[in-house]
Amino acid sequence: MPVALASPADGTGRLFVADLPGVIRVVGADEPFLDIADRVVDLRSGYDERGLLGLAFHPRFRENGRFFVYYSAPLREGAPAGYDHTSRVSEFRAATPDRADPGSERVVLEVDQPQANHNGGSIAFGPDGYLYIPLGDGGGARDVGRGHPPGGNGQDLGTLLGKILRIDVDGPEPYGIPADNPFVGREGRDEIYAYGLRNPWRMTFDAGGEHRLFAADAGQYLWESVKIIVPGGNHGWNLREGNHAFDPENPYVSPAEVPRTGRRGEPLVDAIIEYPNAGQPGGIGQVVIGGYVYRGSTIPWLFGRYVFGEWSRAGAEGDGIIFAATEGPKGQWEFTEVGVAGSRTVGAYVLAFGEDMERELYVLTAKSRGPAGKTGRVHRIVPA
């Protein structure tokens, strides 16, 4: 079940794919690059949001062999009672160009997870050389319940859940805090880069332009959205679901009055893309899947557009969709479905997207909802 693709700047052009149960493979190679399945929680075969969720190569991987993974580990000792598991970001090193050293693990950061779902995980290095880590609101639904404080994790600056973090993996161990992180010297955990996220499932930097950070944020029941992440910004959850108001006590109806500010009077950042979930009339699909701004050369009409996806139009058949969005004059992006070989769907669940060193794009799919089976595929997106 491929959920992340990464390509190091080592001149080889190799594509590394993270498989949910805990294996990293090089496309075209027989042997795994790294197998840490025994360090990942036991996954439920039918559906699971836990697993090996992210992979990022150090910007100087060619010289230092360092790379980072995000995975769901068994609940650590000392975690709150009744929690589900612990999210772990670890560093590993390559022993040879083709094989990582599984004994080289250095745990960088751990976050206890009250529920199994909403784990984010698509770690990425920014153009500033810092490591960005997306984390969902802890899980469950509505950002309430065990492990969710009054008002929710997304709006609570005292927790790392419901946030995007930014840390320095080249400074002191286990990690350093960039001096210009937005909550250094004021209320809020210093690791926080942005907040108010529900489940940022797939986050990427634009390889061109101003290198903006895009994150899809999976909605609750009504609204799927994509956000451009603002440093220190409050992206709304759970005061908002997408750009609509949200009421955790009445989650199937969007309240008429949309909040404009958070509890400290700070402005809420609007999503750039929003569409209705299939749970409401006219809905498009089940879960938004974050993609990339296309900066490749083989599909000129796509250049500068944000390519993203939908896990499944109807849910049961794995009829995923690919979209392309174009930036509008007022911060709202218009998007349209992209046909795939004459079809409106890719014929499988869309799980994630990937980008190679030439900035061409890939779509990662599976025909099953869970990690069982061998239907996972990595497709290159090419001109029709």
Interface with Ca ion: number of residues (CB under 5 A): 8
Q: How far is the CB of 163 from Ca ion (least distance, A)?
A: 13
Contact of 219 with 311, CB cutoff 8 Å: no
Contact of 86 with 75, CB cutoff 8 Å: yes
The smaller minimum CB distance to Ca ion, of residues 113 and 234, is found at 113
Query: Which amino acid does the sequence have at 96?
Result: T
Closest CA to 199 of 263, 142, 131: 142
Distance CA 127, CA 37 (A): 31
Q: Which residue among 183, 207, 212, 251 contacts Ca ion (CB under 5 A)?
A: 183
Q: How far is the CB of 119 from Ca ion (least distance, A)?
A: 5
Q: How far is the CB of 248 from Ca ion (least distance, A)?
A: 17
Q: How far is the CB of 56 from Ca ion (least distance, A)?
A: 20
The smaller minimum CB distance to Ca ion, of residues 98 and 190, is found at 190
By Cβ distance, which residue is nearest to Ca ion?
139
Distances (CA, A) of 173 to 89, 105, 138, 159: 13, 13, 25, 21
Q: Is 110 in the site for Ca ion (CB under 5 A)?
A: no
Q: Which residue among 10, 35, 190, 356 contacts Ca ion (CB under 5 A)?
A: 190
Distance CA 202, CA 187 (A): 28
Fill in the per-residue mask, 242 to 281: x = in contact with Ca ion (CB under 5 A), - = not in contact. Answer: ----------------------------------------
Q: Which stretch, 22-30, 187-195, 215-223, 276-284, contacts Ca ion (CB under 5 A)?
A: 187-195
The smaller minimum CB distance to Ca ion, of residues 32 and 290, is found at 290
Block residue for tokens 């008429």: 256
Q: Which two tokens stand for residue 29?
A: 């190679």
Residues 56-95, interacting with Ca ion (CB under 5 A): none
Q: Is 139 in the site for Ca ion (CB under 5 A)?
A: yes
The smaller minimum CB distance to Ca ion, of residues 191 and 274, is found at 191
Contact of 132 with 120, CB cutoff 8 Å: no
Edge-to-edge order in the sheet of strand 85-96 = 52-57, 66-74, 85-96, 99-113
Looking at the DSSP bridge assignments, the partners of residue 168 are 176
Residue 61: strand, helix, or coil: helix
Residues 12-51, interacting with Ca ion (CB under 5 A): none
The smaller minimum CB distance to Ca ion, of residues 90 and 199, is found at 199
The smaller minimum CB distance to Ca ion, of residues 65 and 262, is found at 262
Closest CA to 198 of 167, 175, 225, 173: 225
Q: Which residue among 90, 113, 155, 365 contacts Ca ion (CB under 5 A)?
A: 113
The smaller minimum CB distance to Ca ion, of residues 118 and 148, is found at 118
The smaller minimum CB distance to Ca ion, of residues 113 and 238, is found at 113
Q: How far is Cα of residue 217 from the mean position of the Cα atoms in its chain?
A: 8
Q: How far is Cα of residue 313 from the mean position of the Cα atoms in its chain?
A: 20
Q: How far is the CB of 181 from Ca ion (least distance, A)?
A: 8
Q: Which stretch, 113-121, 124-132, 219-227, 252-260, contacts Ca ion (CB under 5 A)?
A: 113-121
Block residue for tokens 């959205």: 225
Residues that bind Ca ion (CB under 5 A): 113, 115, 118-119, 139, 183, 188, 190
